[in-house]
A and B are shown apart, each in its own frame.
Chain A
Amino acid sequence: MIHLDGVSVVVPASRRGDADRTLLADVTLTLTEHRIGIIGANGSGKSTLLRLLNGLRLPTAGTVTSGGFDTASQGRQVRTHVGFIFTDPLAQLVMSTPIEDVELSLRSRIKGRENRTREALRLLEERGLGKLAHQSIHDLSGGERQLVALTSVLAVEPKIIVADEPTTLLDLRNRLALRDTFARLPQQLIFSTHDMDVASDATRVLVVDGGRIVADGDPAAAIRFYERSMAMTP
């Protein structure tokens, strides 16, 4: 469970004399649903909101607690508890090959290199990536990279997965495959997306606009609200 209490994120203006920029303004939320989608225009504050959830970004006012840990003072516990998936999986993969990347995640949990290698291979095979284990991450397709990134994040055994537009860079086939994989994850999943089909997979959808939550609730209603608001503002 994640709880945000009176959270604001304000950054200094890029030019002197301009007013400070408010990325998020006084957001209070309790996120308990199994699948939560976040939608909103570019620059609305979606990414900032997601980055708050695992302490990648800290609030300038208010508090964020993930699984009972405060993101500001207990960042390390928060990051073991909450896994984060980026839009661009290539930036997320830290090692040269999938098996090495998964092994790196396993270091905190499994002792002994042979054990780690065996477990990493098993996890990759579980996702149908066994054949790619020793390929360069630069030679994988976008969909394969995103699945490797997911495998690495899941290897830490987090309770919550936060994903920032995970399907944006994927083609249709990979998008469907990732949605299918997401649907079968036992973890709580909080994701942002520009794809209304993906958003409708959620049980609760938040609409972010100008750093505020402007709609919150049933996916169909929230998506309708968002589509209408986008059509009205040119």
Chain B
Amino acid sequence: MNAHANVLGFHEPGDGWLFRLPVGIKYLLMLAMVVPPLAAVQWSVTLACLVATLTFLLTSGIHLGRALRLGWMMWSILLTLALFHLATLAPVSAFVRPGNLLVAVLAARMLTLTTPTPELMDALVWVLRPLRPLGVNADQVALAVALMIRSIPYLLGTVDDARMAARARGLERNPALLLTPVILGAVAYAERSGEALVARGIGERPLAD
């Protein structure tokens, strides 16, 4: 399991300005970085937002290595996207498509690296609470997001494990042998997580005060 390299990272206390920023402003900052490049689809906007996001992270005391430690899977997706667009003779797309994805991931990391998950959850609950008349259970959405953040490193780890197991038997080229244990593992993990939530009585009572 390679938990050090995962897409969203996890919070460690720090004293940079992003750490001190109210969580609501951080959410807005994230959207301000992610939405414009998706809407504009221009290399200049993508580049500007990429540079801005990295600057925000670096000036908050998160060094480049930690900011870009996304795991081999994320980087290979970005590379594949770029190569695909190069192969179809679309050099601008080769930068903009993976660039926008990278901006989105890094902007999300501005939140997850600098904010404890409970604080992210409370902010989500606060934003979603007005939607209660529409049948949105804010607590459950916030809990689901927290579970997602916690489960991603585990699920990526099972892909690594399955690759290793396949390689041990000299079968690494067969995608079915890679996917089957990953999917079965994910379902079993979900089942155990659900059982743990019930056992701890989480979801039975409201999350926020």
Q: Which A residues form the contact surface with B (CB < 8 A)?
A: 54, 56, 75-76, 79-80, 83-84, 86, 88, 90-97, 99-100, 103-105, 107-108, 111-113, 116-117, 134, 136-139, 152-153, 156
A residues less than 8 Å from B4 (CB atoms): 136, 139
In contact, B119 and A113 (Cβ under 8 angstroms): yes
Is B105 an interface residue when CB atoms closer than 8 A count as contact?
no
Q: Which residue of B lies closest to A88 (CB)?
A: B192
In contact, B201 and A97 (Cβ under 8 angstroms): no
User: Which of B11, B13, B118, B207 has most A Cβ within 10 Å?
Assistant: B118
Q: Which residue of B lies closest to A84 (CB)?
A: B199
Chain A proximity of B150: nearest CB distance (Å): 5
Ordered by A's residue number, 7 sampled pairs between the chains whose C-beta atoms are within 8 Å are: A76-B201, A94-B200, A96-B146, A97-B10, A100-B117, A104-B118, A105-B200
Is B51 an interface residue when CB atoms closer than 8 A count as contact?
no
B residues less than 8 Å from A96 (CB atoms): 10-11, 117, 146, 149-150, 153
Q: In the complex, what distance in Å separates the CA atom of A88 from the CA atom of B185?
A: 14
Is B116 an interface residue when CB atoms closer than 8 A count as contact?
yes
A residues less than 8 Å from B198 (CB atoms): 56, 79
Q: Which residue of A lies closest to B203 (CB)?
A: A94
Q: Which B residues form the contact surface with A (CB < 8 A)?
A: 1, 3-4, 10-13, 116-119, 122, 146-147, 149-150, 153-154, 157, 189, 192-193, 195-202, 204-205, 207-209
User: Which of B147, B192, B207 has most A Cβ within 10 Å?
Assistant: B192
B residues less than 8 Å from A92 (CB atoms): 196, 199-200
In contact, B154 and A90 (Cβ under 8 angstroms): yes
In contact, B10 and A86 (Cβ under 8 angstroms): no
Q: Which residue of A lies closest to B191 (CB)?
A: A91
B residues less than 8 Å from A56 (CB atoms): 195, 198-199
A residues less than 8 Å from B192 (CB atoms): 86, 88, 91
In contact, A91 and B11 (Cβ under 8 angstroms): no
Q: In the complex, what distance in Å separates the CA atom of A100 from the CA atom of B177?
A: 36
In contact, B197 and A94 (Cβ under 8 angstroms): yes
When A91-B193, A94-B200, A100-B116 are in contact, do A108 and B10 touch as well, CB less than 8 Å?
no
Pick from B13, B118, B189: contact of A100, CB below 8 A. B118
A residues less than 8 Å from B154 (CB atoms): 90, 138
Q: In the complex, what distance in Å separates the CA atom of A136 from the CA atom of B157?
A: 13
Q: A84-B199, A91-B195, A94-B196 are in contact. List 10 more A-B contacts (CB 8 A).
A: A56-B195, A79-B198, A86-B199, A94-B202, A95-B150, A96-B10, A113-B118, A117-B116, A138-B154, A139-B4
Q: In the complex, what distance in Å separates the CA atom of A80 from the CA atom of B117?
A: 23
Q: In the complex, what distance in Å separates the CA atom of A104 from the CA atom of B208?
A: 10
